[in-house]
Amino acid sequence: MTDLATPVAVPRPRPSWRRAAPALLGYAAVRALGLVVLAVWSAARDESPVRLLSARWDSLWYTRVAELGYGYEVRLPDGDVHSNLAFFPLLPWLERAGAALSLLSHAEAGLLVSAVASLAAAWGIFAVADHVYGSRAGVCAVLLWAVLPVGIVQSMAYSESLFTALAAWSLYAVLTGRWLTAGLLASLAGLTRPVGAAVVAAVWVTAVASFVRERGASGGDGAPRWRRALAMLVAPLGAAGYVLWVGHRTGGGPLGYLDVQAGWRNGFDGGYAFARFVAGKFTAFPSALAGVGLVVGVVLLGRLYAAGVRQRQPLPLLVYTGTVTLLALCASSYFGSKPRLLLPAFPLLLPLALALAKLRTSRSAWVLGGVAVASAVYGAFWLNGSGPP
């Protein structure tokens, strides 16, 4: 167990594949189960699972950026303008590179990127949990992330897996005092999704806290001050660079990206729109049951975060998780996307992972196995239905 004053001063060995192997094998098995169930379900509907994973919703926008670049937009009858400038560029860049270096299409390259990134994310989650609570909790954390109800998104040509991989390894770098690595990965995370701001916040707050400790009696973390300062400088460059480029391209100045998001009716309103959406569920039955489920879900998120605080999770994890959760819940549109937007908030699972790690292996295996089956079935049902907007 560590305290809130992180990172540690003692150099840590690099994480090994051998140590992470049980977590990665378990993760691969869960994802394979989800894909098999999806394939069977889709075949029964005469639907292509590859199309469901790579050619619907946001994946189409990413593919179009990879193929044609930026500048495409859709004008809706109500006057809204959906521009592909809303989608950050790292995933399309990787899709374009994958297609150029192989015989894959851009959409197929997106699936390959997500497959590799999801394994990298699982390894990063293990590394963080192993560092904080030990390898057993690390394995449980990875498997919990794999069996989330919307875990199928980890296998889609979406940016969640790529972002989570960059975020997890950036957080691990902060925890182990590798500041330049942390700053570089935070910058890449900022080129992946707007929520890259959460990784930047974790780097900045932890660095500032270390400077403050150096001025007090507790001392710093042992890393040279210039490394921490340089990490703070590099961390926001990815997100800031893209946002400023969008502003220049649209003529909207530094706030031009917000105008692009407004065209999608998306923004940050402190949770007001989401609260109204939840309240609206209680106006009739059976939608009131969905309202109860939403309230329970939000309360559960709060309890998991509070549990992390009580268990004295390291400061960068608390800052990152709080920021991701806040941005997800307080976005003013796409309420059905909330579970997907919360996928990168993996530290919320650490209290559950710690509890599972204390059970007998057979009991925790039965629990995780049962949830994995339910998650696979739900993922197949979800993608063959409304799916992630």
End-to-end CA distance of the chain: 39
The tens digit of pLDDT for each residue in 293-314 reads 999 999 999 999 999 999 999 9
What is the rounded CA–CA span in Å between residue 49 and residue 58? 16
What is the rounded CA–CA span in Å between residue 251 and residue 360? 60
Confidence at residue 134, expressed as pLDDT on a 0 to 100 scale: 94
Confidence at residue 91, expressed as pLDDT on a 0 to 100 scale: 98
What is the rounded CA–CA span in Å between residue 190 and residue 239? 4
Map tokens 């919360």 to a residue: 342
The tens digit of pLDDT for each residue in 364-386 reads 999 999 999 999 999 999 999 88
> How does the average pLDDT of the chain come out, rounded?
92
Average pLDDT (199-225) is: 83
What is the rounded CA–CA span in Å between residue 20 and residue 131? 12
Could you count the other beta carbons within 10 Å of the beta carbon of residue 265? 14
The tens digit of pLDDT for each residue in 6-58 reads 444 334 556 778 899 999 999 999 999 999 999 999 999 999 999 999 998 99
Average pLDDT (140-155) is: 97
pTM metric for this prediction? 0.94
Taking each helix axis from N to C end, the angle separating 17-44 and 361-383, rounded to the nearest 10 degrees, works out to 40
Collect all residues with Cβ–Cβ distance below 8 Å to 45 and sequence separation of at least 6.
384
**Identity of residue 349:** L
The tens digit of pLDDT for each residue in 318-333 reads 999 999 999 999 988 7
Confidence at residue 1, expressed as pLDDT on a 0 to 100 scale: 39
| The pair of three-digit structure tokens given for residue 35, joined into one six-digit string | 């894909």
The tens digit of pLDDT for each residue in 81-98 reads 999 999 999 999 999 999
The pair phi, psi for residue 192, each rounded to 5°, is -105, -45
Bridge partner list, 309? none
The tens digit of pLDDT for each residue in 59-69 reads 999 999 999 99
Peptide bond preceding 77: is omega within 30 degrees of 0, i.e. cis?
Answer: no
**Identity of residue 304:** L
Q: Do residues 353 and 123 make contact, with C-beta atoms less than 8 angstroms apart? A: no
